Amino acid sequence: MMETSKKIFPTIGIIGGGQLGKMFIQKSSQWSVPVNILDRDASCPASVLANHHIVGSITDGNEIQKLADISDVLTWEIEHIEVDKLIELQQQGKTIIPNPEILKIIQDKGKQKLFYQNNNIPTAPFFIALNREEAKEKLTQTTFQKMAVKTCTGGYDGKGVFITDRNSILENPKIIPFDGELMVEEFVPCKTEIAVLVARNRKGELAVYPAIEMEFDPQSNLVSFLISPANMPLHLEQRAEQIALQCAEAFGSAGLFAVELFLSENDELLVNEIAPRPHNSAHHTIEGFYTSQYEQLLRVLLDLPLGSTHLKMPCAMINLIGPETGNGKYRLKYFNELNTLSGVYIHLYGKEESKPNRKLGHITIVQPSREKVLEITQKVRTLTEIEIL
Ligand SMILES: Nc1ncnc2c1ncn2[C@@H]1O[C@H](COP(=O)(O)OP(=O)(O)O)[C@@H](O)[C@H]1O
Ligand SMILES: [Mg+2]
């Protein structure tokens, strides 16, 4: 058993040691809060900052047990982990935030959609099918013309999402590039996609962030560009915040939740999915907001009051993504040029090798006005080349 009596802060254990974990530890280390990680990759991004790094699989209950043995509070930075072990640990009295039962729902896109439906959370019409053949059959009972077919488990970063149309599936369901349990959702023609972060602390207090506008790369389905404040009418922004609060209430657990929403062409706000952890769409909260998403999660884990969710200055974020053309060692070609621009902050995650579409870093742009943010972001975009060495 560990010695806890003389500690100022509890020791935090994160399952996963990617860039989200790294940025979380960057904040934690400012307050000298000890953080351990579990990740099978000995050189994962968070490894350089972790107090203890257990090199082991996040899907192995025994490895999670090792992390639990040296940590007071457990959380995660990635969804594809051995959740039943967390539920077991929670039953034994371990503090795990958020409640792992929520992760159990979120790991399955079908269960997730049923949860929204059961809690009157607005979401696009859908059905669940056991396989491609059943998807075809059930499709005939709907009026869906265009749809997003999603694998219920295992998808991430747009992998596991297939956009198609009615006739294509009716002709040949095998065009769906994955089988097994599927969630078939009506396609939502969108004006934009937004993310709303909401935090709930251990006393049940809630704090919601203003909506973040996301732009996706149509090729990779990855977020390519984000901006705050979102360009949307106040009443829709308020509605989005209200939906995010409703989601956090429905979960009934402490934690940080990133609610992804579609703003449809007829101004409907529909929940797409929720990440129960820090989110790629909110990295710019580090430089652009009074309380970053990482600090907010830290406050939740430490049982502190929540921080201000206000914007300091208009800001944007773009990802640095591995090019399609190759694998291997790399560099950000215009690192020096980027560093001549004021209000431009480069984050490099320290991944050893580039792979196509791999998230290698991001850049935050903070400027006095939204127009200026857009102007500088355009400039930064021309300087984001990743060169394979
Ligand atoms: N029903 C839908 N209508 C329109 N676009 C969709 C729909 N479902 C998914 N998409 C597009 O695909 C992206 C990825 O889907 P998502 O379910 O969020 O998967 P992931 O878990 O990989 O992020 C969405 O952000 C959106 O751009
Ligand atoms: Mg998503």
Measure the CA–CA gap between 115 and 248, rounded to whole angstroms: 12
Our answer on whether the CB atom of 221 is closer than 6 Å to any ligand 1 atom is yes
- Nearest ligand 1 atom to the CA of 159 is 22
Question: CA 284, 287, 293 angle in degrees (round to 5)?
Answer: 55
Segments of the chain scoring below 50 in pLDDT:
none
Our answer on whether the CB atom of 148 is closer than 6 Å to any ligand 1 atom is yes
- Predicted confidence at residue 288, as pLDDT, reads 98
- Predicted confidence at residue 219, as pLDDT, reads 67
Residue 41, classed as helix, strand or coil, is coil
Measure the CA–CA gap between 54 and 70, rounded to whole angstroms: 10
Our answer on whether the CB atom of 193 is closer than 6 Å to any ligand 1 atom is yes
- State the ligand closest to the CA atom of 151: 1
- Predicted confidence at residue 179, as pLDDT, reads 86
Count of other CB atoms within 10 angstroms of residue 373: 23
Our answer on whether the CB atom of 152 is closer than 6 Å to any ligand 1 atom is no
- Nearest ligand 1 atom to the CA of 147 is 1
Measure the CA–CA gap between 8 and 4, rounded to whole angstroms: 9
- Predicted confidence at residue 7, as pLDDT, reads 86
Please name the residue whose Cα sits nearest to atom 1 of ligand 1.
187
Measure the CA–CA gap between 7 and 378, rounded to whole angstroms: 47
Q: Are 297 and 305 in contact (CB under 8 A)?
A: no
Our answer on whether the CB atom of 273 is closer than 6 Å to any ligand 1 atom is yes
- Predicted confidence at residue 306, as pLDDT, reads 98
Beta strands in the chain (DSSP E): 12-15, 35-38, 53-54, 73-76, 95-96, 126-129, 146-151, 161-165, 182-186, 190-200, 206-208, 212-216, 223-228, 255-264, 269-275, 315-321, 330-332, 344-348, 359-366, 386-388
Q: What is the model's pTM?
A: 0.95
Please name the residue whose Cα sits nearest to atom 11 of ligand 1.
221
Q: What are the structural domains, with CATH classification, of the chain?
A: 12-96 (3.40.50.20), 125-186 (3.30.1490.20), 190-388 (3.30.470.20)
